[in-house]
């Protein structure tokens, strides 16, 4: 596709369950980012990949959150033992490289933990 694709668009899960959120970046983009956006707030950085490696994971809130990008393209954000406070829109963005280039966002996955 032409843009960043995120699936699912909506996810409702019960407290304590495990969830995976998927991001398909723009083809050829080596940099990939995950952000979290709470209602009425700006996006907050979670993790940044350059290729297959996590170059900066300083935004992950705790060890229940983990992300992978095994082949340098698709990325999966994994959340274990979900809590109601994890409810938010999770946004993925990609750019051709990390530096000096624009980041393009997907439409996000709205996660609701009940």
User: Contacts for 108-111 with beta carbons within 8 Å, 24 or more apart?
Assistant: 108/6, 108/9, 108/37, 109/6, 109/7, 109/8, 109/9, 109/10, 109/11, 109/21, 110/9, 110/10, 110/11, 111/11, 111/13, 111/19, 111/21, 111/79, 111/82, 111/86, 111/87
Shorter beta-carbon distance to other proteins: residue 4 or 113: 4
Which residues from 18-37 bind other proteins, rule CB under 8 A?
31, 33, 35
**Residue 99 interacting with other proteins (CB under 8 A):** yes
Which residues from 51-70 bind other proteins, rule CB under 8 A?
55-56, 59
Q: Which stretch binds other proteins (CB under 8 A): 12-20, 22-30, 48-56, 69-77?
A: 48-56
Q: Summarize as ranges the residues that interact with other proteins (CB under 8 A).
A: 4, 6, 31, 33, 35, 40-45, 48, 50, 55-56, 59, 91, 93, 98-100, 102-108
């Amino acid at each position: 596709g032409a843009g960043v694709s995120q699936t699912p668009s909506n996810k409702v899960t019960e407290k304590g369950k495990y969830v995976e959120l998927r991001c398909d970046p723009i083809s050829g983009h080596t940099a990939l980012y995950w952000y979290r956006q709470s209602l009425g707030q700006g996006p907050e950085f979670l993790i940044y990949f350059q290729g297959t490696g996590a170059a900066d994971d300083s935004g992950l809130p705790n060890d229940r959150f983990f992300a992978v990008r095994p082949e340098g393209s698709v990325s999966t954000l994994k959340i274990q033992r979900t809590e109601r406070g994890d409810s938010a829109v999770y946004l993925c963005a990609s750019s051709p490289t990390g530096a000096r280039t624009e980041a393009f966002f997907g439409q996000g996955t709205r996660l609701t933990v009940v």
